[in-house]
């Protein structure tokens, strides 16, 4: 009896302390969960004290609460924002913690987490908000000579007004017509240059000067000699839109920047490519044709019906793409925005057109800067596939603008089979050899691009000079029985060719000698891509004087042998322990020359820094860049120098969220009932002690994965020493709300041999979830009645299925941007290759939409209104919600205006967090299996604190606050607070 009462009291205390104006010095909820009834009465009594909340500051009108005008200092109510306070990021008055200022969208933080019917954007509790609003750290970029570092400064979350700008959805991409670029581009706000000193320290900051105020910077690119930077600049205009992009260049030594083009009418067309350095003083720029007029207008009356035909009976299967072209007007609009005039521009101001206007998609100069490989797309366009499948032309031009030849003109590719490893017919992956001045290579399929066709070889790699003699045929470099996966070039004696096959998870690495036909290729590694324990690592590359990257050869002082460096993640049963091996390519012998500290730190090799000299590198002159972190220390960068392996720290970034600096993190292992070993990362709040504080409410957040074997599914991935990075929508934010968080518990869906994994999806999903829940309960950190489950995209699909098929495990769920009806994605989804008609029962049984009648636990659905991800149409959540509502399920659907698959605007993210926190507080923290006492629901204005306390905590009648509707809850709250 005592236990029931004691456990009910903290629920009331915590809820009312959150709803009240509690002390601003306590951002984290109280660590202890046990309070006496006297403590509860005292806490409620303090809520009445006049110094904390004066009568004139708030009023109730017709049962509603409003914020009245007040002259009280804002610092005393820092977690309250006036109803009309807004979140535009730059300028204005009344800025918030991230510089947010007044804009046009209403944002309010009502401290009543139950007032869910109010309109407008909401803000989560300040414990969460302060973490999300923390200033972002800069991005880093090293100079080609490794002697300077750019600190690219970034802004906080963008305001919703950025996302609300008009955009054209054409051919699978989204275009900002005002900028003539991809819409919703992030940007840098400034560029700072630091000299990297001999001792590894950084010199003083040098800010790039001369930029216009409020410049939005994109596409920062070093010249090959490291003396100049090129980047694009755009500005906000009076109507809230952004201007078109202009190319700027900056002298790295002086820090002075200026526009590349003297004419103010030359703008970048950044729909596909943007600009590239042809040599150290010349850029090739994609510009908007000067002769282009206004955009085409949509006709008031269509010229005819929209017709698609397949009278030739072609087999055309495609996944559920979004933003496709719909009619002739869309075709005209796509062509209008995507058409580019290439311009060759030098730093001294000269410029000239390069080729005719076309829809250019990529530009790639040869290493010797003699030729430029240019790709473009053209009509006929398609209404069923995105622009990446449109006809593709690849041409070779000289760097001075002289046309050389056409390499290929591939037709529209609507008929690529949906099976994994299926590809386009004809030449593909056309590139320059990184180790040669100007030698082309490419791949051609021998199976018609259809992975279901059994043929040997399946792919052939060809090579050829850019200007072959008459009748000179391409040379066969290598033949592959699996699908081509890339080449790492070194020189004429060494190159590594990769191939893989998804169905079997097989990956192979071949050693070839490109300059020696008499040396037979041989397999270096032949393994399963799922077997992370056997991963030997990848060869480290060095930068050449031409600006390309080739495999680095290393020589030891005591012998004449040549080695390469293999950089690996070092997966082990104890977690990842990154390494660097000295590897003999001929004998296969290896020597471990560096390894991360496995006890406390997680350190990885980022790049080779000692590549300024040509030829082989001496092991004693080796210098590498590493990133180093721990559970509680955020990532910093270090220079590691041989032979002493002396480490020098070159960054000192502050902790992004010091309030969670002492969070507890543990990688845990447990077993599924079929014997599969599973892993997860368990996070606990700072200062939590299970023996003292008891079990916590727990949030489980995951994403299923497919495997071909139990052994591979059981392997450990990740490191227990990695820093707990917390993004704007991370489940780890609820550590600040005193939740336990089980992050990424492995949910392996295994299909061994000829078995398809998804045929036993539900069975394996539930078994994995049961094992995870049993483990956190066994450890005493999670209350079995207060475990919530959530996920994004395929994780949302998982969440809905778990609430339908394992309701005994979870009290509620949060599903973001998911797909719930697989009949709406009939030509495959995720890693499912079969169609709906080939695996009807699998599609139906996997779809939680078909089990909507089984979902009895509360589920929160969140979706971006403009979701652009294949398969996860916003309609998926809308129809799922209607199915749930049609069966009386406790559910809520939140559609975020202007948001796509991932959420970007501060208003949207904050509201998502508010919705999630409200759902977790109501249906997890304050959920109970004890029936409600109806007497508490009466609106008794004369009730005293003592009577209400007794009613809430009465033995045998503990009130289930989570089941109160808003009016009932407000009644109790008013009687307690006023």
List, by residue number, the catalytic residues: 793, 867, 901
- Note the residue count of the chain: 978
Integer Cα distance of 607 and 597 in angstroms: 18
Helix%, strand%, coil% for the chain, nearest 5: 20, 30, 50
- Please enumerate in sequence order all residues whose Cβ is within 8 A of that of 302, keeping only pairs 6 or more positions apart, or say none: 327
Task: Classify each residue of 757-784 as buried b or exposed e, where b means 16 or more C-beta atoms within 10 Å of its C-beta.
Answer: bbbbbbebbbbbbbbbbebbbebebbbe
DSSP per-residue codes, 353-407: EEEEEEEEEEEEE-TTSSEEEEEEE-SS--SSS-GGGS-EEEEEEETTS-EEEEE
Cis peptide before 853, with omega less than 30 degrees from 0? no
DSSP 228: E
Integer Cα distance of 360 and 357 in angstroms: 8
Cα 177 off chain centre by: 25
DSSP 825: S
3-state secondary structure of 557: coil
Element (H, E) at 44: helix 37-47
> Strand order in 601-608's β-sheet?
601-608, 623-630, 636-641, 646-649
* Three-state SS sequence of 45-96: HHHCCCCCCCHHHEEEECCEEEECCCCCCHHHHCCCCCCCCCCECCCCCCCC
Task: Classify each residue of 135-173 as buried b or exposed e, where b means 16 or more C-beta atoms within 10 Å of its C-beta.
Answer: eeebeebbbbebebbbbbbbbbbbbbbbbebebbbbbbb
Among 80, 263, 9, 173, CA closest to 948: 9
Helix axes 966-977, 37-47, angle to 10 degrees: 80
DSSP 559: S
Integer Cα distance of 346 and 349 in angstroms: 6
* 482-485 LR contacts (CB < 8 Å, sep 24+): 482/458, 482/506, 482/508, 483/421, 483/423, 483/451, 483/458, 483/459, 484/429, 484/443, 484/459
Q: State the residue for tokens 């207060």.
A: 786
The answer to whether the beta carbons of residues 22 and 16 sit under 8 Å apart is: no
Task: Classify each residue of 856-876 as buried b or exposed e, where b means 16 or more C-beta atoms within 10 Å of its C-beta.
Answer: ebbbbbbbbebbbbbbbbbeb
Integer Cα distance of 463 and 83 in angstroms: 65
Integer Cα distance of 446 and 438 in angstroms: 26
Distances in whole angstroms, Cα of residue 254 to Cα of each of 194, 208, 249, 258: 12, 8, 12, 12
């Amino acid at each position: 009896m005592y236990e029931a009462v004691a456990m009910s009291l903290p629920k009331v205390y915590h809820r009312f302390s959150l709803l009240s104006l509690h002390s601003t010095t306590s951002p984290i909820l109280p660590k202890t969960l046990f309070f006496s009834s006297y403590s509860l009465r005292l806490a409620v009594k303090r809520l009445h004290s006049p110094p904390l909340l004066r009568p004139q500051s708030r009023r109730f009108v017709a049962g509603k609460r409003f914020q009245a005008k007040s002259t009280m200092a804002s610092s005393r109510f820092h977690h309250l924002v006036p109803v009309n306070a807004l979140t535009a990021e730059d300028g204005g008055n009344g800025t918030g913690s991230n510089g947010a200022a007044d804009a046009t969208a209403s944002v309010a933080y009502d401290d009543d987490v139950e007032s869910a019917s109010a309109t407008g954007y909401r803000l989560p509790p300040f414990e969460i908000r302060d973490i999300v609003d923390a200033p972002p750290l800069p991005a880093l970029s090293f100079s080609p000579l490794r002697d300077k570092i750019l600190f690219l400064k970034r802004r906080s979350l963008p305001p919703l007004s950025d996302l609300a700008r008009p955009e054209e959805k054409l051919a699978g991409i989204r275009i900002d017509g005002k900028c003539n670029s991809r819409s919703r581009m992030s940007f840098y706000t400034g560029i700072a240059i630091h000299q990297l000193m001999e001792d590894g320290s950084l010199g003083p900051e040098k800010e790039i000067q001369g930029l216009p105020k409020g410049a939005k910077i994109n596409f920062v690119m070093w010249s090959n000699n490291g003396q100049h930077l090129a980047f694009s600049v755009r500005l906000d205009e009076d109507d809230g839109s952004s201007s078109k992009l202009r190319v700027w260049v900056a002298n790295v030594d002086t820090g002075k920047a200026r526009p590349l083009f003297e004419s103010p009418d030359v703008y970048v067309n950044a729909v596909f490519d943007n600009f590239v350095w042809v040599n150290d003083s010349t850029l090739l720029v994609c510009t908007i044709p000067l002769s282009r007029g206004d955009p085409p207008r949509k006709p008031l009356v269509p010229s005819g019906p929209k017709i698609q035909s397949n009278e030739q009976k072609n087999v055309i299967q495609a996944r559920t793409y979004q933003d496709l072209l719909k009619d002739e007007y869309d075709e005209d609009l796509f062509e209008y925005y995507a058409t580019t005039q290439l311009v060759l521009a030098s730093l001294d101001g000269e410029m000239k057109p390069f080729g005719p206007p076309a829809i250019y998609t990529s530009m790639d100069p040869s290493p010797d800067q003699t030729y430029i490989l240019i790709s473009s797309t053209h009509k006929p366009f398609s209404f069923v596939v995105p622009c990446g499948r449109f006809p593709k032309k690849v041409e070779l031009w000289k760097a001075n603008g002289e046309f050389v030849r056409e390499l290929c003109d591939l037709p529209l590719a609507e008929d690529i089979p949906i099976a994994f490893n299926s590809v386009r017919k004809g030449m593909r992956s056309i590139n320059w050899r990184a180790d040669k001045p100007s030698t082309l290579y490419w791949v051609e399929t021998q199976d018609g691009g259809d992975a279901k066709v059994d043929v040997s070889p399946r792919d052939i790699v060809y090579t050829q000079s850019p200007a072959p003699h008459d009748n000179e045929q391409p040379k066969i470099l290598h033949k592959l029985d699996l699908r081509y996966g890339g080449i790492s070039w070194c020189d004429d004696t060494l190159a590594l060719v990769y191939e893989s096959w998804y169905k079997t998870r097989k990956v192979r690495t071949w050693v070839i000698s490109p300059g020696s036909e008499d040396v037979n290729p041989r397999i270096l590694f032949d393994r399963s891509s799922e077997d992370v324990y056997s991963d030997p690592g990848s060869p480290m590359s060095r930068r050449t004087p031409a600006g390309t990257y080739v495999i680095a050869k290393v020589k030891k002082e005591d012998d004449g042998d040549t080695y390469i460096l293999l950089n690996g993640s070092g997966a082990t049963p104890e977690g990842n322990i990154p390494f660097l091996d000295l590897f003999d390519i001929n004998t296969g012998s290896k020597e471990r020359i560096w390894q991360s500290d496995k006890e406390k730190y997680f350190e990885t090799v980022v790049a080779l820094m000692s590549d300024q000299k040509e030829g082989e590198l001496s092991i004693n002159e080796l210098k590498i860049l590493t990133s180093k972190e721990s559970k509680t220390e955020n990532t910093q960068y270090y220079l590691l120098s041989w032979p002493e392996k002396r480490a020098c720290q070159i960054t000192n970034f502050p902790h992004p969220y010091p309030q969670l600096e002492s969070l507890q993190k543990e990688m845990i292992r447990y077993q599924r009932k079929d014997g599969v070993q599973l892993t997860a990362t368990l996070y606990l709040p700072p200062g939590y002690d299970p023996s003292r504080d008891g079990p916590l409410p727990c949030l489980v957040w995951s994403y299923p994965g497919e495997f071909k074997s139990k052994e591979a599914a059981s392997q450990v991935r990740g490191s227990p020493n990695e820093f707990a990075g917390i993004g704007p929508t991370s489940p780890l934010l609820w550590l600040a709300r005193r939740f336990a968080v089980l992050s990424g518990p492995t949910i392996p869906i295994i299909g061994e041999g000829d078995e398809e994994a998804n045929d036993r999806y539900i069975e394996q999903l539930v078994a994995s979830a049961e094992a995870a829940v049993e483990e956190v309960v066994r450890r005493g950190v999670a209350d079995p009645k207060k475990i919530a489950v959530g996920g994004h995209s395929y994780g949302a699909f998982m969440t809905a299925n778990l609430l339908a098929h394992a309701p005994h495990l979870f009290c509620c769920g949060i599903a973001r941007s998911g797909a719930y009806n697989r009949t709406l994605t009939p030509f495959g989804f995720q890693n499912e290759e079969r169609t709906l008609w080939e695996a009807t029962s699998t599609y139906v049984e996997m779809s939680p939409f078909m089990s909507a009648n089984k979902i009895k636990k509360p589920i929160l659905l969140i979706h971006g209104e403009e979701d652009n991800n294949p398969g996860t149409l916003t309609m998926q959540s809308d129809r799922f919600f209607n199915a749930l509502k049609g069966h009386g399920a406790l559910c809520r659907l939140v559609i975020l205006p202007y948001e796509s698959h991932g959420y970007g605007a501060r208003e949207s993210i904050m509201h998502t967090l508010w919705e999630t926190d409200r759902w977790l507080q109501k249906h997890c923290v304050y959920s109970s299996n004890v029936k409600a006492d109806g007497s508490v629901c009466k609106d008794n204005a004369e009730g005293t604190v003592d009577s209400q306390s007794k009613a809430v905590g009465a033995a045998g009648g503990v009130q289930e606050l989570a089941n109160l509707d808003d009016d009932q809850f407000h009644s109790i709250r008013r009687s307690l607070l006023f």
